[in-house]
Amino acid sequence: MKKFNYEFYTREEMADIGKNKGFFFIETSNGDNFIIAKDDLADFIVLEATRCVQSVDMEVFVPNPEKDTPIITTYGWFLNKANPVLRNEIIDRLVKLQTNKAVPRNVKIFDNDIFLEMNVEDFGDEKGKTLQYDKFFKKYYESEEELELE
């Protein structure tokens, strides 16, 4: 099976996504590691599950070393565990894709080798955490942080 059948973003596109949209890290049970644009999550779940004939589990992580548990886990294209805020953001699109009421978009992925060569200026990154963490990801953890404060 071909390891990647996705097109890659250019370095400039990756930097733009990192600064303006956010991205997720994905690890699969088949040993693949992907970095995708945040907006492509539902489409990627369906495309990757289809590519692997539903025999893949995925773990989705935010780019923050302090958040080392997956924000979403899947079995094929079905969600196992999901952060409720992120689930609400993707569920309508995911269900439409699963029921063939929508066609998956052509998803691109980050080139992992180029990503590792990029620097702080490319992403606005500090200590492995995107400087736009508050803008893109903090909302997923606000209820957890409130519980910790009590």
- Cα-to-chain-centroid distance, residue 16: 16
The reported pLDDT for the residue numbered 49 is 95
The pTM score is 0.88
Give the pLDDT confidence of 65-96 residue by residue, as tens digits: 888 999 999 999 999 999 999 999 999 999 99
- Cα-to-chain-centroid distance, residue 79: 13
Q: How confident is the model at residue 150 (pLDDT cuts 50, 70, 90)?
A: very low
User: What is the C-alpha separation between 104 and 132, in angstroms, rounded?
Assistant: 27
The reported pLDDT for the residue numbered 23 is 94
Q: Six-digit token pair at 68?
A: 């080392």
Q: Comparing C-alpha atoms, which of 74, 77, 80, 82 is closest to residue 96?
A: 77
Check: CB of residue 36 under 8 Å from CB of residue 107. Answer: yes
59 has a pLDDT exceeding 70: yes
39 has a pLDDT exceeding 80: yes
More confident residue, 36 or 2: 36
User: What is the C-alpha separation between 140 and 84, in angstroms, rounded?
Assistant: 8
